[in-house]
Structure formats: C-alpha cells, structure tokens
C-alpha cells in the first residue's frame, strides 16, 4: 500500500514516503475514520469541522465519541465549492461558542455532492489547517471516481502538500482514508480500508495502534481485497488488457449515466442539479410545493423525506432525503446514485420524471413558488 | 439464527423465542460486545463487572467508552469456579467506592480458564443479577467447545433462565454473544457474530439498532458464514455424514490435546494447571523463581511476560502472559491454546517441558520457593 501511494502521488518527495508504520488497515474506511475521531475527541467541547452536506458517518460518530460537529457549508451555486472564507467563519463562530475545533473533514471527491477540489483550493485548505492548528481528515475514498480527469485529475492532499513550500511539509497533520468500497471495484460488502497518517505525533500514533489492536482479529478477506486493489495487473501481464478494458468500461458508463441523469433532472420543474465531477452521487436541489411541505409538517416528517417515500411507493426508486446529509434551512435535496445498470437507466430516469411531474402537478407547484 | 437458538435451547418455552428484532448481526462477537458496553456506560461512575482472569477485549473497551471495570475473581482452587459470594463482595465494594455497577460479564465456557459453569451455578448468577439490577452479558462464544458433555453439557443462560421460576423469566435483562470464530469452524478471520437480546427495554434496543446502523455496510461474507454455522447439514442430506465425521474428529482431537497438555504441565516443577472443560485454552499457574522475578523487575517487565518472551526466543512457542488477563497479586500464569496440530503436539509439549525445566534449573527454583 505504501508503494501504491508512492506511485499515485509521484516519486519526487523522498521525505513524504509512508511506511508500514504510517498505514493502518481497517474493515472499510468507516472504522478508520471512527478511530481518528476517537483519537481526536478528548472532551465535550472538542469540535470536528464537517461539510454540509456530509456523509452521515461523521455526524453520527462525532457525538458518539462525545464531541461536537462544527458545520461548514459547501456552496451549491459554485458547484458545491469549498470556500476558505466559509471555513474561517465557521471556526471563529465555534470558538466564540466555547468549542475547540480539532480537525477539519474534507470529502474529496465529495459525498453526496460529487464535487472535485482544484489544487489551488486544496493548497488554501492546507494553509487554513496549518494556521488554525487543525488536523486534516481527508476522506479520499472516491479517488478513482473522477469523471473530469482531463480538466481536473484527482490529487491527494498529501501530494498537494508536498508541492507547497517546504515550510508546510512538516506542519500539516493529516489522515487520509481509502477503501475497497468505491472506485470501480465497489466491494463495500467485503470491508477493507486504511488510514494513512502523515506528520502525526508518534505518541498519538501509538494510541491509534492500540485502538486498532483491541479487536484482536482482522477481517482477512478485506485485507486481501485491498492488496488486490493496490496491486492491479501490470502492462505485460496476462490479464492486464482485460482489466483495463473492464475498468474503463465501468468508468465511462458511470460518466455517461451521471451526465444523462443531470440533464434529465435539470429539465424538470423545480429541480436544479450540479454535475457530478466525481464520486457516485448527485444531490439535486428540489423546490417542493408549499402544499407538500404543509402535509409533511402535519405528519411530523421532513418534507424531503416525504418526497422520497412517495417516490419509493410510486416507482420503487430509492433515493435519500437531503435532510440526512444536512442542507440550508428551507432548502430540500435528495441524494441519488447513478449506479442502476446502464440498460435500465433510461427507464429509471423516465419513471422518476413521470413521478416528479405528476407530483408537482398534483400539489400545484408553480415556478413562482421559488 | 432465531431457529438455531430455539433448537439449541429446547422448544418448551414459547415466550422465550427470539425473532429478528432481538438478534443483531455483527462483524464477530467483539463489536457486538462493544456495542452493549457503549449502550450501558453513561458516565465515568458506571461499572461493568468482569471476571479476573478475563478476555482483554473487556478491560480494553470499558475505559474506552468512559466506564470502570469492576473485577471479580474466579477461584483457581475450585477449577476457576464462579462464586456468587465473590460477586456480592465485588459489587458491594464498587458501590462503596461510588461506582454504579450496570452489568455483569460472564464468559462461559471460560476464556482464558476453560471452565464450564453448572446449571445450579448459573441459576445463582441469574438471581444475583436480578436482585442487584444488573444486565447479564453472557459471552457464550465457546458454546460448541465443551469437552465434558456427558457430565456438564453447554447450557445457555437463556435456557437456564426459562428453567427457573416464572417470576424470573421477565426480570433478567440479558445479552448473549456468539461467533463464527470458535467452535470447530474457527473462522476468526471472517468476522461474523451476533448479539441476542432478551428482556431488554425497547427504547434501549432502538439505540442499539441505531448504533449498529452507523457503519452502513455489513461484512456480507461474515453474515453468510454465520448462516452456514447455524444451518449445518441435516440427517439425510448428502454431506451430513462427512460433516459429522469431520466435526467429531476435530472436537475429539481438541479434547485429547487438552488432556495431554494438562498432564504435561502438571508434571513440571512449579506448574499447576486446571483441566480445560471447554473453550480452547489452558491457564496454568507458574511459580516463578525469585531470581527471574528480580530480573524482570529490573527490566521494568512483568515477570510472566519475561517468561513468555524467553519461551518464544528459545523454542518459537508463543503463549500469552497472565498479566494480560488479570491475576491475583504475586501470582503468575500464562495462557496457551491447545490448537497446534495433533501431529506436532507432542513435539510442542516436549519443547515446552525442556524450556521450562532448563529455565527453572538455571534460575535455581526450589519447591520451597512456593
């Protein structure tokens, strides 16, 4: 795995090489993330900065370990961009409220947003962490799921760190997470992942090691799977060509599906959807009719949850309400994957479009409602 | 799994049947145990009663979740028996020290002791839990590893509970744990297990369910394995006879090895070893020479740890120091499995005997040192 990271990030920075001392195998990225949260949270005034919208693992685990979530908002109008101005505002507000922010979670490519950060943006984020004394938790599990590689290929935070002035190389404390659950393998049921630690104090790493050792026996098959993931067939090997063909087919199909879904969503009344530059998700914004919102409120349900249940009932299509990921007050979203088979994808989108237009008509949605 | 439990425990008690609502799948028994500890521990005065010696998962996890271990001692002179008098003493002392005991952990068959509880003893333990308001955490992962079935077959705490007066049936709060890691399958690297909840308040079970749902994706292969474990081949099925033959061979071989190891240990100077009625372990008591103890103290090492390292260095045999499991002050043990292949077992025991007698001679051990 150390070799995989080295080859991914380029070989120019000898000082940055990880060894087996810096890499912690885990049963998927989730337990690795939870281990770092456990490590960082000392008391109930310790804060962890998380994006809104975010992957619910974070909002669920932080209070479990006795800490506080410190939200920062991604900018939907700027393709779910991450503004350091917003980070600054969020960290200052937390401190004003007696919270001690300890770490910043960045999910890149984004879940549920699908957004991919630029190198310049990542440099700003690194500077922000160093200046504010925050550990950076880089959730990079979608690193292989980038559909705009020509424009903006994936860069790990570690790679970007070592492209910066040497003064930063030893000052950013970084954990990076990866997993066999995503990419084109998508073996979430096999549970394999890792955390890579960069510039983490040795005494903290010792505690981390102890934490990982409590469950005495690892998930051996997940470890084998991650070995397979980081050691794919090489040029000249028998299965190389088939491997590349299958891999590229899966990615190009995912890209086609992402583009198609965005186009359909944006053609429907009251829906606005950013493109998916990466990951496996879209997080469209839906303007819900006032009558539907009132109905949901009466039932004591989140309006976007009611929308999702109606979709499930009507068409058997399961999407997740935006309220589970976090969103600005008064806004509604749902998260959908673009994982249904390509042969069924047109039907899924047509069914969705039929459900949505029928519902909007039934509840008397007008553009003016915006 | 509900069906497996029902068939194991007998069908006479309709009211005791578990359903899917009472059974929580987990990646091995460890995360299930940790989930219940997390559920039970509210604050740093909450105590969990654990046996000494115990499996280190408990002593490591309890402080991790912010609670306190409340030790009770197993009686080595009574074949590692569990005396309710000792439980009573322990719970009272804890309360005197401001600790609020919330649960009692019982490992049956025992790890590292190999002891199997009698039905009468289990009834006493259940009464104790009900009277003291303690949740019983029954670590029953070695339920298939019982080598004295004629004398004392395995009984689950749930089965024993429903043999008692009806007044107890609804008053004992019980979690039972099981796993694919033990038995004759021994697939610890596959990570499959479960917790069965009996008489646990619904609102607590809802929290438990939420806790298990944070890691969104289960270890699918571990779940398949546990399905295989609880649904073994049935009489009349094609593989039934081979299955029974292989299973019985493994168990009878384990039993032979356990008996053989105990005999060798008890023939050596300064070692006293209880028989293994169950599980996979022996936990012999070793009287260490004063010179060795002094040497360990000088090195800042536990004396039994030094003994184990010397054994590893001299013979390549790995056993675990008793200090990792807990023992009375001034006593020393090690825990060994009897898992080495039967074809190699005589050699392992001969190597051990050679190491031990050489070491005892070198360090000038005399029976009088006792």
* Omega before A53 within 30 of 0, i.e. cis: yes
- Looking at residue B365, its pLDDT comes to 86
A214 with B30: Cβ contact below 8 A? yes
A214 with B181: Cβ contact below 8 A? no
Answer CATH for B240-369 from 3.90.650.10, 3.90.1150.10, 3.30.70.1450, 3.40.50.2020: 3.90.1150.10
Q: Under a CB-based contact definition with an 8 Å cutoff, are residues B145 and B113 in contact?
A: no
Q: Under a CB-based contact definition with an 8 Å cutoff, are residues A32 and A177 in contact?
A: yes
Strand pairing category for B46-52 and B68-73: parallel
Confidence class of residue A85 from pLDDT cuts 50, 70 and 90? very high
Q: H helices within chain A, ranges in order? A: 2-9, 29-40, 56-64, 84-96, 119-132, 157-161, 166-169, 202-213, 220-230, 240-266, 290-299, 303-315, 342-362
Distances (CA, A) of B255 to B229, B249, B277, B297, B353: 21, 10, 9, 37, 20
Residue of B nearest to A57 (CA): B214
DSSP-derived letter for residue A324 is G
Q: How close is the nearest chain A Cα to the Cα of B11, in Å?
A: 35
Interface test with B, best of A39, A64, A191 (most B CBs within 10 A): A191
Confidence class of residue A214 from pLDDT cuts 50, 70 and 90? confident
| pLDDT value at A369 more than 70 | no
A57 with B215: Cβ contact below 8 A? yes
B216 with A57: Cβ contact below 8 A? yes
Distances (CA, A) of B121 to B76, B82, B83, B146: 16, 8, 8, 17
Chain A contacts to B (CB-CB under 8 A): 27-28, 30-31, 38, 57, 60-61, 64, 66, 181, 188-191, 211, 214-222
Q: Under a CB-based contact definition with an 8 Å cutoff, are residues A24 and A212 in contact?
A: yes
Residue of B nearest to A218 (CA): B189
B211 with A64: Cβ contact below 8 A? yes
Distances (CA, A) of A133 to A58, A66, A87: 20, 21, 13
Q: How close is the nearest chain B Cα to the Cα of A220, in Å?
A: 5
- Looking at residue A316, its pLDDT comes to 97
Instruction: Report the phi/psi class of residue A285: left, alpha or beta, with left for phi > 0 and alpha for psi in -120 to 50.
Output: beta
Give the pLDDT confidence of A259-306 residue by residue, as tens digits.
Answer: 999 999 999 999 999 999 999 999 999 999 999 999 999 999 999 999
Give the pLDDT confidence of A126-173 residue by residue, as tens digits.
Answer: 999 999 999 999 999 999 999 988 888 999 999 999 999 999 999 999
* Omega before A186 within 30 of 0, i.e. cis: no
Question: HEC states along B103-146?
Answer: EEEEECCCCCCCCCCCHHHHHHHHHHHHHHCCEEEEECCCCCCE
- Looking at residue B16, its pLDDT comes to 80
Which among B30, B211, B218 is the nearest to A215, CB-wise? Answer: B30
Q: Under a CB-based contact definition with an 8 Å cutoff, are residues B134 and B166 in contact?
A: no
Which among B27, B214, B216 is the nearest to A27, CB-wise? Answer: B27
Angle between the N-to-C axes of helices B202-213 and B29-40, in degrees from 0 to 180, rounded to the nearest 10: 130
For residue B278, give the nearest of B252, B250, B244, B255 by alpha carbon. B255
Residues of chain A with Cβ-Cβ distance to B56 below 8 Å are: 214, 216
Residues of chain B with Cβ-Cβ distance to A38 below 8 Å are: 64
Cα–Cα distance, A187 to A179 (Å, whole number): 9
- Looking at residue A212, its pLDDT comes to 87
A61 with B220: Cβ contact below 8 A? no
Q: Under a CB-based contact definition with an 8 Å cutoff, are residues B245 and B333 in contact?
A: no
Q: Is B286 helix (H, G, I), strand (E, B) or coil?
A: strand
Chain B contacts to A (CB-CB under 8 A): 27-28, 30-31, 38, 56-57, 60-61, 64, 66, 181, 188-191, 211, 214-222
- Looking at residue A218, its pLDDT comes to 86
Measured at the alpha carbon of residue B199, what is the angle toward residues B197 and B203, in degrees to the nearest 5? 85
- Looking at residue A149, its pLDDT comes to 86
Query: Average pLDDT of chain A?
Result: 94
Give the pLDDT confidence of A220-248 residue by residue, as tens digits.
Answer: 999 999 999 999 999 999 999 999 999 99
Q: Is B71 helix (H, G, I), strand (E, B) or coil?
A: strand
Distances (CA, A) of B236 to B6, B8, B240: 21, 20, 7
Which among A181, A211, A217 is the nearest to B189, CB-wise? Answer: A217
Residues of chain A with Cβ-Cβ distance to B188 below 8 Å are: 217
Cα–Cα distance, B209 to B24 (Å, whole number): 8
- Extract the tokens encoding A330: 């008064």
Give the pLDDT confidence of A243-268 residue by residue, as tens digits.
Answer: 999 999 999 999 999 999 999 999 99
- Extract the tokens encoding B196: 């069965």
Of the CA atoms within 13 Å of residue B165, those in its CB half-sphere come to 4
| pTM of the entire predicted model | 0.94
Give the pLDDT confidence of A178-207 residue by residue, as tens digits.
Answer: 999 999 999 999 999 999 999 999 999 999
> Which residues, other chains included, contact B244 with Cβ-Cβ below 8 Å and sequence gap of 6+?
none
For residue A208, give the nearest of A7, A13, A50, A23 by alpha carbon. A23
For residue B34, give the nearest of B175, B129, B190, B172 by alpha carbon. B175
Q: How close is the nearest chain A Cα to the Cα of B193, in Å?
A: 13
Q: Is B243 helix (H, G, I), strand (E, B) or coil?
A: helix
Residues of chain A with Cβ-Cβ distance to B219 below 8 Å are: 27, 189-191, 219, 222
Which among A38, A66, A219 is the nearest to B27, CB-wise? Answer: A219
B222 with A217: Cβ contact below 8 A? no
Angle between the N-to-C axes of helices B303-315 and B290-299, in degrees from 0 to 180, rounded to the nearest 10: 100
- Looking at residue B368, its pLDDT comes to 62
- Extract the tokens encoding A242: 């088939």
A214 with B38: Cβ contact below 8 A? no
For residue A18, give the nearest of A138, A197, A140 by alpha carbon. A197
**Sign of the torsion angle spanned by Cα atoms B60, B62, B64, B68:** negative
DSSP string, A135-204: EEEEE-TTTT-BS-TTTS----HHHHHTTS-HHHHTT--EEEEEESSSTTT--GGG--EEEEEES--HHH
Q: How many Cβ pairs closer than 8 A exist between chain A and B? A: 67
B57 with A219: Cβ contact below 8 A? no
- Looking at residue A366, its pLDDT comes to 79
Domain boundaries, chain A: 2-230, 240-369
Distances (CA, A) of B187 to A256, B253, B267: 42, 18, 33
B66 with A66: Cβ contact below 8 A? yes
A217 with B181: Cβ contact below 8 A? yes
A30 with B216: Cβ contact below 8 A? yes
Q: Under a CB-based contact definition with an 8 Å cutoff, are residues B314 and B265 in contact?
A: no
* Omega before A311 within 30 of 0, i.e. cis: no
Fold of domain A2-230: 3.40.640
- Looking at residue A368, its pLDDT comes to 61
| pLDDT value at A367 more than 80 | no
Cα–Cα distance, A110 to A313 (Å, whole number): 29
pLDDT in tens, chain B (370 residues): 999 999 999 866 677 889 999 999 999 999 999 999 999 999 999 999 999 999 999 999 999 999 999 999 999 999 999 999 999 999 999 999 999 999 999 999 999 999 999 999 999 999 999 999 999 999 999 999 999 888 889 999 999 999 999 999 999 999 999 999 999 999 999 999 999 999 999 999 999 999 988 877 889 999 999 999 999 999 999 999 999 999 999 999 999 999 999 999 999 999 999 999 999 999 999 999 999 999 999 999 999 999 999 999 999 999 999 999 999 999 999 999 999 999 999 999 999 999 999 999 999 987 665 4
* Omega before B110 within 30 of 0, i.e. cis: no
| Residue indicated by tokens 């879904």 | A261
Q: H helices within chain B, ranges in order? A: 2-9, 29-40, 56-64, 84-96, 119-132, 157-161, 166-169, 202-213, 220-230, 240-266, 290-299, 303-315, 342-362
Give the pLDDT confidence of A95-131 residue by residue, as tens digits.
Answer: 999 999 999 999 999 999 999 999 999 999 999 999 9
Longest Cα separation, chain A: 64
């Amino acid at each position: 795995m150390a070799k995989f990271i080295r080859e991914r990030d380029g070989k120019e920075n000898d000082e940055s090489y990880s060894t087996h001392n810096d890499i912690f195998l885990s049963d998927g990225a989730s337990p690795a993330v939870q281990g770092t949260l456990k490590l960082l949270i000392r008391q109930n005034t310790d804060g962890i900065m998380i994006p809104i919208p975010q992957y619910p693992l974070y909002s669920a685990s932080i209070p479990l370990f006795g800490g506080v979530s410190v939200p920062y908002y991604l900018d939907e109008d700027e393709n779910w961009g991450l503004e350091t101005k917003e980070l600054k505002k969020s960290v200052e507000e937390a401190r004003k409220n007696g919270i001690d922010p300890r770490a910043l979670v960045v999910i890149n490519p984004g879940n549920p947003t699908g957004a991919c950060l630029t190198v310049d943006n990542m440099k700003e984020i690194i500077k922000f962490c160093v200046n504010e004394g925050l550990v950076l938790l880089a959730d990079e599990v979608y690193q292989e799921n980038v559909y705009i590689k020509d424009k903006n290929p994936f860069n790990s935070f570690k790679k970007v760190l070592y492209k910066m002035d040497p003064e930063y190389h030893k000052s950013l404390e970084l954990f990076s997470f990866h997993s066999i659950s995503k990419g084109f393998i998508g073996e979430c049921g096999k549970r394999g992942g890792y955390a890579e630690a960069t510039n983490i104090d040795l005494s903290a790493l010792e505690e981390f090691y102890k934490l990982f050792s409590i469950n005495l026996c690892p998930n051996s098959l997940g470890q084998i799977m991650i070995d397979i993931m980081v050691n794919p067939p090489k040029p000249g090997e028998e299965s190389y060509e088939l491997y590349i063909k299958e891999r590229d087919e899966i990615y190009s199909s995912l890209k086609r599906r992402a583009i198609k879904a965005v186009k359909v969503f944006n053609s429907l009344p009251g829906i606005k959807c950013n493109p998916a530059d990466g990951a496996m998700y879209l997080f469209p914004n839906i303007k819900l009719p006032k009558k539907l919102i009132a109905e949901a409120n009466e039932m004591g349900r989140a309006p976007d949850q009611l929308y999702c249940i109606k979709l499930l009932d009507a068409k058997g299509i399961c999407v997740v309400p935006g309220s589970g990921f976090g969103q600005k007050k008064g806004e509604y979203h749902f998260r959908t994957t673009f994982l249904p088979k390509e042969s069924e994808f047109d039907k899924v989108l047509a069914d969705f479009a039929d459900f949505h237009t029928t519902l909007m008509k039934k509840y008397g949605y007008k553009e003016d409602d915006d």
